[in-house]
Structure 1
Amino acid sequence: MPRSTTLPAEPDPSARQLAARLRRLKDHSELTMRQLAAKTGYSAKSWERYLGGTSLPPREAVESLARITGTDPVPLLALHEIAVDTRAGRRARPTGQQREQGQPESPTGPQVASPATPNTGISPRATEPAPGHFPHLALTAGVAALAVALLAALLLVLRLGDDTTPAAVTVPPRTTASSPPPSYTCRITRIDGRWSAGINKGRNTEIVYGATGADVAEAQCLLRRAGISPGGIDGMFGPLTLRAVKTFQQRAGLVVDGMLGPRSWKALRG
């Protein structure tokens, strides 16, 4: 499929870097704009602006793209926080500063070079920093410190959520954009009078919208066997799979709630 166009010039490096990384994830996943919109809930035109760098995407859009491509969202969210803070600081900054003109000559008369200091011919004002230079450096340092603090706090929360015992906080290895999402193959068979796709070992685990993994892929294969398309066999319970589940439940005379529970699994396995 064709690659995205080159990003336009952008004064904010963090926003350009975020857009470039999101675009690489989309290109590697080989998703069309329409498929990307169906899996994330954001329109194709919105994704064209996000990936083109003309509009900063919402945090939820970044998380959705990371989820469907199997990418660690933490580095992307850190870039997003920096871009948001930088743009907020730019709005608060004055639009321009007046240059000083017509400075009066010192009341003490012309300056005379000291015998102990060689006269280099450079005005003392030439060595002074430009107005607003130090506030800009302070703002940039503050934004970087805030991003590091947010990233550390997020890693601490994730670590404590996995293990309640005290443990040292470690940074998880970064998942590269080249890591492909898992692939599944439907192998429909009839075992003891029940249909199976051979993916989740016959489990009937309850799954709902937003779930991922082998159980979702098993259900997608069985829905396709029943003549209802769930989209791709990608193990992601997205909008297309939700619509297929509801269609099957209605056809089977079950409660149409879009959730695959024991009764829906029983009907799918027939």
Structure 2
Amino acid sequence: MDRAGSVKDLASELLALKKASGSSFVQLSEKTHYAKSSWERWVNGKQFPPRDAVERLALLCGTDPAPLLALWAEEDARRAAPEPEAGAEAGAGVEPEGRAESWAAVFRRRRVLWASVVLAVLLVAGAVSYTALSGSGEPPAAPRPQPVVTVAGPATGCTLTHCEGRDPKKMNCGADAVTVRTGSIPKDLVIELRYSRACRAAWGRISFAQVGATVVVNNSDGAAQADVVHFDRDVYTPLIAAPDDGSVWVCAALPKNGPRSCTGRFIPSEEKAQQP
């Protein structure tokens, strides 16, 4: 079964549960804290849902979530597997892309080598000429080349929409993460919008919260990820895509339809994320 097929299978199960519950997308949003538009995409197979959303829908309908979660895990494993190389499926007589890139790299290295040889010859010729004109037997010292230092970003497990629904710690998105927006619900609850430039993704986090408090991260494409405090006093959401020209923000709510508050929107292309 291909990936699209397995997503459709999961979506058909979610659709069956939604019909059995008799709930509209608006009602599902109110009961689960996920956006109405997100439920529409998940149920219609347009987007892979987060594990928490699948479990909540099953529990909401009074159904054992285990079979649905097994189907979800199977698809999640497929999504995590690398895509097949284009060259592996190419027909005879078609050179794989990787090989074409290798020949290009060899050609570039040869050009650099020849350029280095020509430069060395010119330097030697210049030194000989200088010695002949000055009468000195010692050629001038050649300038010492300066080392080039390249700073690499952190190795991450995903970027943009491939991060949707994944754990920021497991994807190593926390390696360069910064808090770009904050908010609060008096007196104690703290809301944070966390952003990773390497993953081009974001997530929400709340601290000093009560059990039952919720946090939802949203983006301007209509996607959302959420979580709820089950124990302790803090929790963070799964990842959501944060494209350069889009916006992301976080909302939180106290238990039992208590007060709700949101951070301001963050647009990566318009400002540089600063460590708070």
**Same-fold status (TM-score > 0.5):** no
TM-score (norm 2): 0.33
Higher-helix-fraction structure: 1
TM-score (norm 1): 0.34
